Chains A and B, each alone.
Chain A
Amino acid sequence: MKKLAVFAIIVLIFGTVSPSLVDSAYAQNDPSILLRIAVQADKQIVNQLDGVYGDQIPNNLQILYDKGHGAVYSLDESLPNDIEKAKQDFLLAMNSFMQISRTISQSSEKVVAVTVSDKDSRTLSNELDRLVKYVKSLETISKKYNVDTESDFIKIYDLIQELRKQANDVNKVNVGIKKIKIILDSIKNDIRESALEQRSDFIKRFFDRSLNQIDEQLAKAQDNGVDQSQIDTGHELILEIRELLTKNQINDAKVIFVELKGLMENIGYPIRIT
């Protein structure tokens, strides 16, 4: 028995320590990815410099490129033995390339900085791809709750297909997307209504379990001499919540539950998952 216990201790210590070991091991499991990224970036920068400046690369950019390229060369040398050096080389290379590409993009064209939060800059086909993803996730949920929305989804998919054909007409597509979103909002409401009963049952069961647990905690607190008025308040709140639940007033029950939770924390018996 004693041997078994000692063994269990060893396993537990390893079990506690090993996640951190795995984490750091994973971070370095394939350092060659650093070289792969840096080599690819190097090639892209050469292409960019050639395309924009040809043989007349500005001096500052040439210096930066030499620095970056040298770091890629050093990175290749450092691997696989000197990981720390390889990391430094990688960061130096990528930083140099970043400066070059930012300088090129600022100087070579009449550039306007754009954030894609400007709706005009988004691509309609991408917008439709994202919409399809959204539609599919709602379709999966509605199937789970047997919501009668099949015809709505058929309509949506037809609309999306139509919009893909009209991708050049921005206004038409935007109007179409708005139309689809209205249908999706109504589907969401249908899902919510249909799942309401199951969700309410789930919440009631959860309340029931939690309130029983709190009841026991209050009994313990009473035994340990906690102020009786606090214990009484706790019992009153539990009763109030149960009453609200029988009337199906779940949101009100939640509000009282928050109060009860605070009380339990104040008396030193916080609610925990068991």
Chain B
Amino acid sequence: MASFIEPIQLKQSLGDDGILFVRNETILDTMVKTSLLVASMIIVAALLPIQSSFSSPRDLDLIIYPDGSTHISTEIDIDPFLTDYELNLFGSTIDNLVVVGDNEFLLDTSIMDNSVLIQTFGSSVITIDYDIHDLVSKQGRLWTFSLDSPSTFTLLLPKNSAIVGMINLPINMEIINDQNQLTLSPGKTEIDYLFSNTISNSLSDTKIETNYFPYAIISGVLLIILIGTVIIIRIKQKNHKPVEHNQITKKSITLDLETIFKLKSDLREDDKELVKFIFNNGGEALESELRKKFLQPRTTMWRAVKRLEREGVIEIEKKDLQNLVKLRKSMESEE
């Protein structure tokens, strides 16, 4: 503190009306401590996602069946201090509702017209699955899907369906098992489609040119973080004392399927299938490929992949804005 403020007698000056002025160019540094600023920014940054995420769907996936019924799968962050949570459903004709909370607890629900009351107390994330029959109507051969969505969502259209009209812009489109999957923005969506045996493969014919600008921005941010990490590691290494390695012995094992399953004997059967597929796919696969292969909704697959990551079986890397799931080349086991 003393180094920032110079003694008054050295830099004092008297104004015309006899007021004593103190010249202090480092007043900002004196008043606002940098460390305090950093700490407050960290708190703000940490609170932002919490504030904006409660009661908003983290994921919303819709699958339209050929008969127009729709399966909805959504995951919502909620305030665990709420004793119950009322969720607006997208209609009133609901079937096969399953609501699961933290630790895959089956939660109690009661449906009231267009909403469902869920006993959530203590749960911070809930997963909701149900079938609904109100979102698609049919006139002649023409099917119309309408939804006013509170968040971005994916929509898997039935096989052999062709879009013939829509009122808004899609964010993305993928082909999954010969079915179109659109990613759409929040707000009103209306899509007309019909079934046709003559759907051309024009989807794959049209040339695809990618705009690399967003990648450049993301790469820039990543680069800054990377440089920062390197600096921090170097600083740490300078002050680093050798750590005793006696407590933990690390076993580095080149992994094959047998070894993985031996080391992680409590893996779930469906998770083992995932591991097998990744292994046979050269040790890596995109999360979207896994979804296609196992026909799982985005949320279910995301949870499975996260489970395997927690188990230390796989690692997740970002590749072209997608999750690349890789089998770990070695596994550390504590003895």
B164 and A44: CB pair below 8 A? Answer: yes
**B261 vs chain A, min Cβ distance (A):** 18
Instruction: Tell me which residues across on chain B come within 8 A of A105, comparing CB atoms.
Output: 139-142
B69 at the interface (CB under 8 A from A): yes
How far, in angstroms, from A137 to B208 measured CA to CA in the complex?
A: 38
B20 at the interface (CB under 8 A from A): no
Instruction: Tell me which residues across on chain B come within 8 A of A273, comparing CB atoms.
Output: 50, 79-81, 124
Q: Which of B93, B106, B129, B211 contacts A28 (CB under 8 A)?
A: B211
Indicate with 1 or 0, residue by residue over A119-146, a CB within 8 angstroms of chain B CB atoms: 0011100110111011001101100100
Instruction: Tell me which residues across on chain A come within 8 A of B228, comparing CB atoms.
Output: 7-8, 11
Which of B50, B105, B231 counts the most A-chain CB atoms under 10 A from its CB? Answer: B105
A117 and B96: CB pair below 8 A? Answer: no
Interface size for chain B: under 10, 10 to 19, 20 to 34, or 35 or more residues?
Answer: 35 or more
A11 and B138: CB pair below 8 A? Answer: no
How far, in angstroms, from A131 to B262 measured CA to CA in the complex?
A: 35
A102 and B142: CB pair below 8 A? Answer: yes
B27 at the interface (CB under 8 A from A): no
B133 at the interface (CB under 8 A from A): yes
Residue of A nearest to B210 (CB): A30
A40 and B199: CB pair below 8 A? Answer: yes
- Tell me whether A109 and B69 are in contact in the complex, defined as CB-CB below 8 angstroms, given that A11-B224, A15-B45 are known contacts: no
How far, in angstroms, from A224 to B64 measured CA to CA in the complex?
A: 57
B198 at the interface (CB under 8 A from A): yes
Interface size for chain A: under 10, 10 to 19, 20 to 34, or 35 or more residues?
Answer: 35 or more
B169 and A80: CB pair below 8 A? Answer: no
A61 at the interface (CB under 8 A from B): no
How far, in angstroms, from A77 to B290 measured CA to CA in the complex?
A: 36
A95 and B165: CB pair below 8 A? Answer: yes
B131 at the interface (CB under 8 A from A): yes
Within 8 A of B (CB), among A1-27: 2, 4-16, 18, 21-22, 24-27
Indicate with 1 or 0, residue by residue over B90-103, a CB within 8 angstroms of chain A CB atoms: 01010110101011
B28 at the interface (CB under 8 A from A): no
**Interface contacts beyond A41-B165, A202-B122: sample of 7 additional A-B pairs, CB < 8 Å, sorted by A:** A11-B225, A40-B200, A116-B137, A116-B138, A117-B134, A188-B106, A261-B81
Q: Hey, which bits of chain B sit against chain A, CB under 8 A?
A: 34-35, 37-38, 41-42, 44-45, 48, 50, 65-69, 71, 79-81, 83, 91, 93, 95-96, 98, 100, 102-106, 108, 121-122, 124, 129, 131, 133-134, 136-142, 162-173, 185, 190, 192, 194, 196, 198-200, 202-203, 206-211, 213-215, 217-218, 221, 224-225, 228, 231-232, 235, 270, 321
Q: Hey, which bits of chain A sit against chain B, CB under 8 A?
A: 2, 4-16, 18, 21-22, 24-37, 39-41, 43-45, 47-48, 79-80, 83, 87, 90-91, 94-95, 97-102, 104-106, 108-109, 111, 113-117, 121-123, 126-127, 129-131, 133-134, 137-138, 140-141, 144, 188, 191-192, 195, 198-199, 202-203, 206, 210, 254-255, 257-258, 261, 271, 273
